[in-house]
Chains A and B, each alone.
Chain A
């Protein structure tokens, strides 16, 4: 674990948050600061330690394949930021999804 400089713009892109230049600088410094503190974890010998998947172990939580009531469509669409008839409407998509 080295102390690298975070590419804040790249991370913000992944997270789909537009940042001002000011924010890029400010967050860059604050996150760098946090990462400095987090370096502490580098001390630990964790080679033989399993990662905690869950704090309280449980397995195989499943539900029966049964239909349950759906939400009423008007309830669903009433709070849509933009709707067109029975659909949610979004601005054009530029790139193909994976």
Chain B
């Protein structure tokens, strides 16, 4: 039977376009699978049965009328910080727990227009702030490869959904690593494009100059298909880049001949422990075996990445989240005067991590501290971006870890700063606006449980070089196929 719940998006679209299977069939099977599995995984905050069926019927009608759709019938998980008309869009927060969006995010709209079927709104760290999905105020998402471990964050729900075969493509958002890290934790491909490549209109903002939407998928080809559908200028987003998009799904490579891959001196993996070090050393060797020339590059400013990010992102979010004030929508905690109402509403509606970031961000922008903190961080950001430009003078791609460890158990990082460290490898690319992807690159012994847990290789390249990046990632994936070692503990097709 073609197009099972674990099929790739490419296979499903092919089956539906050739009428081997109807979108409705695919959707019904998927919804049944979700109902069977998600109580244990917790990927979805809202399951979209009715909308999914209606969408599937609409796709079938279009196919019957002779259309061919790039993502016909492809089940889609949508991170719950993306507006979709008529659906609850919560950002994993009590403050939006019951808010129904009256309009749709542009990237989501393009996916639906391309034939994708929205299966559910996926869980996330509250307002996309976190690296484990533990900061969600509305639900717990478990890593399908080990239910006692986190799926990663902040796009943990979308990652878990795809990993447990509850969707073929998941949409996530990445600000400091929120697609790449959960992809690595969940044995998936996770891709963040160049800043401005995919519209942010309808993506509930965390840090405006860093947020980007991107796909989770089981293969690089699927991620490329999704990117090709979503990328491109949107007049509703002033930061959306108005520049022709080079297609990527039809330019996937089988080797890396002629390419130089840079290994970052400052990202040496020796300090991550013998097992993890071995995984990455092997990964780099595999890149070389594919024909790439390995060179050493430096990113001397990378060590300032965390400090830079944890000033800029909170500063922007402190302003972006001011609108959640109980006046026009969302939670309101009543009080005698509007000032007290604001304070009580936001105290009750925001979780501790969100409060922390709003506080530090407000502080960094406040009078007397603005130059010392915010401006200085924006200058450090320039240095980091310049470092990458210099590095790319001697290589085409940079390879490094997506995360410093495999998925960790719940409640194992109670100190906020230890959680922030999870973003160490992913933050510099975000600050520089570069496209970056995580691809499964090996397995390590799990901290809990007996089954090995996945690790991700991060590849990054200059801005607007998505075709090169996805092409190279595909070559690596095809040659190594690490993802195939084991399926998830929960969600494997019957």
Task: Determine direct contact between A and B, CB below 8 Å.
Answer: yes
**Would A15 and B318 count as touching, CB distance under 8 A?**
yes
Instruction: Please give the distance in Å from B357's CB to the nearest CB on chain A.
Output: 10
**Would A41 and B307 count as touching, CB distance under 8 A?**
yes
Given A34-B417, A92-B337: A8 and B463 interface contact (C-beta under 8 Å): no
Among the listed A17, A46, A79, A82, which residue makes an inter-chain contact with B346, where contact means beta carbons less than 8 Å apart? Answer: A17
Most buried by B among A6, A46, A88: A46
Instruction: Please give the distance in Å from B465's CB to the nearest CB on chain A.
Output: 13
**Would B383 and A17 count as touching, CB distance under 8 A?**
no
Instruction: Please give the distance in Å from B56's CB to the nearest CB on chain A.
Output: 26
Instruction: Please give the distance in Å from B405's CB to the nearest CB on chain A.
Output: 19
**Would B238 and A46 count as touching, CB distance under 8 A?**
no
Question: Does B196 make an interface contact (CB < 8 A)?
Answer: yes
Given A27-B356, A90-B327: A49 and B382 interface contact (C-beta under 8 Å): yes
Given A23-B355, A81-B331: A55 and B383 interface contact (C-beta under 8 Å): no
Q: For residue B5, which residues in chain A have a CB less than 8 angstroms away from its CB?
A: none
**Would A51 and B336 count as touching, CB distance under 8 A?**
no
Q: For residue B331, which residues in chain A have a CB less than 8 angstroms away from its CB?
A: 81
Q: For residue A14, which residues in chain B have a CB less than 8 angstroms away from its CB?
A: 362, 366
Given A31-B363, A38-B311, A49-B382: A71 and B102 interface contact (C-beta under 8 Å): yes
Please report which residues of chain A, range 25-56, place their CB below 8 angstroms from some CB of chain B when the two chains form the complex. 27, 30-31, 33-35, 37-42, 44, 46, 49-56
Q: For residue B344, which residues in chain A have a CB less than 8 angstroms away from its CB?
A: 18
**Would A16 and B329 count as touching, CB distance under 8 A?**
no
**Would A55 and B235 count as touching, CB distance under 8 A?**
no
Q: CA A35 – CA B341 in complex, angstroms?
A: 30
Among the listed A52, A79, A82, A95, which residue makes an inter-chain contact with B385, where contact means beta carbons less than 8 Å apart? Answer: A52
Q: CA A61 – CA B238 in complex, angstroms?
A: 6
Question: Does A84 make an interface contact (CB < 8 A)?
Answer: no
Given A17-B358, A27-B355: A92 and B347 interface contact (C-beta under 8 Å): no
**Would A30 and B356 count as touching, CB distance under 8 A?**
yes
Q: For residue B195, which residues in chain A have a CB less than 8 angstroms away from its CB?
A: 55-56
Chain B interface residue number, banded: 35 or more
**Would A81 and B330 count as touching, CB distance under 8 A?**
yes
Q: CA A52 – CA B209 in complex, angstroms?
A: 10
Q: For residue B341, which residues in chain A have a CB less than 8 angstroms away from its CB?
A: 90-91
Closest to B355 in A: A17
Chain B contact residues: helix, strand, loop or mixed: helix
CB-defined interface of A51-78 with B at 8 Å, one 1/0 digit per residue?
1111110100101000000010001100
Question: Does B360 make an interface contact (CB < 8 A)?
Answer: yes
Instruction: Please give the distance in Å from A60's CB to the nearest CB on chain B.
Output: 10
Among the listed B329, B358, B382, B463, which residue makes an inter-chain contact with A80, where contact means beta carbons less than 8 Å apart? Answer: B329
Please report which residues of chain B, range 189-245, place their CB below 8 angstroms from some CB of chain A when the two chains form the complex. 194-196, 209, 235, 238-239, 241-242
Name B residues whose Cβ lies closer than 8 Å to a Cβ of A: 99-100, 102, 194-196, 209, 235, 238-239, 241-242, 301, 303-304, 306-308, 310-311, 318, 322, 325-332, 334-344, 346-347, 350, 352, 355-356, 358-360, 362-363, 366, 372-373, 375-383, 385, 416-417, 420, 431-433, 463
Name A residues whose Cβ lies closer than 8 Å to a Cβ of B: 1, 6, 8, 11-12, 14-19, 23, 27, 30-31, 33-35, 37-42, 44, 46, 49-56, 58, 61, 63, 71, 75-76, 79-82, 88, 90-95
Other than the given A27-B352, A37-B306, A37-B307, 4 more pairs (CB < 8 A) read: A31-B356, A38-B373, A53-B378, A56-B241
